[in-house]
Amino acid sequence: MNIRDITTRIKWKEGASAATKKRAIQRIQTMANAIEIQFPEVRFCNQIKLKHMKFLTEAWFDNEGLAPTTMGDYTRSMRLMIKALDKDRHWFGHLGLIQDRTRGGRQVVSRVTKTRSRNRR
């Protein structure tokens, strides 16, 4: 699956290393490919729905035998992917991805732009 629409909306902080960017994009690509293999009718990233993300969290993570830290890395990339698809308000609650800001966590090195077409000439 081509994830160019997702990756173009991700903006990285200046301090983000190339390895961090590459790993996050590779994880997003891996998840998109897993969705495309399980659901062949999904050929483009704008066709991804909540049920596809639930498949990743409920079945794919377990079937791949991922370590807990690796699952955390994939979960962070999934959050980034969902934000880039502009579905975070609706899907985070269903997927249990709402973060408690008082607990802390890793420093965020990326953000997602809302639209690319604004102020374009």
> What are the tens digits of pLDDT across the range 13-56?
888 899 999 999 999 999 999 999 999 999 999 999 999 999 99
111 contacts 11 by C-beta, under 8 angstroms: yes
pTM of the model: 0.85
CB contact at 8 A, 5 and 45: yes
Which residue has tokens 């000439």? 121
Split at pLDDT 50, 70, 90, the class of 99 is confident
The confidence score (pLDDT) of residue 7 equals: 93
* C-alpha torsion sign, points 69, 71, 77, 78: negative
Q: Give the mean pLDDT of the chain.
A: 88
Using pLDDT thresholds of 50, 70 and 90, give the confidence band for residue 112.
confident
Q: Is the per-residue pLDDT at 116 higher than 60?
A: no
Distances (CA, A) of 40 to 6, 17, 32, 78, 114: 19, 34, 11, 20, 28
Distance CA 59, CA 53 (A): 10
User: Residue 110: its pLDDT value, please?
Assistant: 80
Task: Tell me the sheet residues that pair with 2.
Answer: 44
pLDDT for 119 equals 52
pLDDT band at 102; cut points 50, 70, 90: confident
Could you tell me where the beta strands, DSSP code E, fall in 13-115?
A: 110-112
Average pLDDT over residues 89-106: 80
What residues have CB less than 8 Å from 105, skipping those under 6 apart?
A: 99
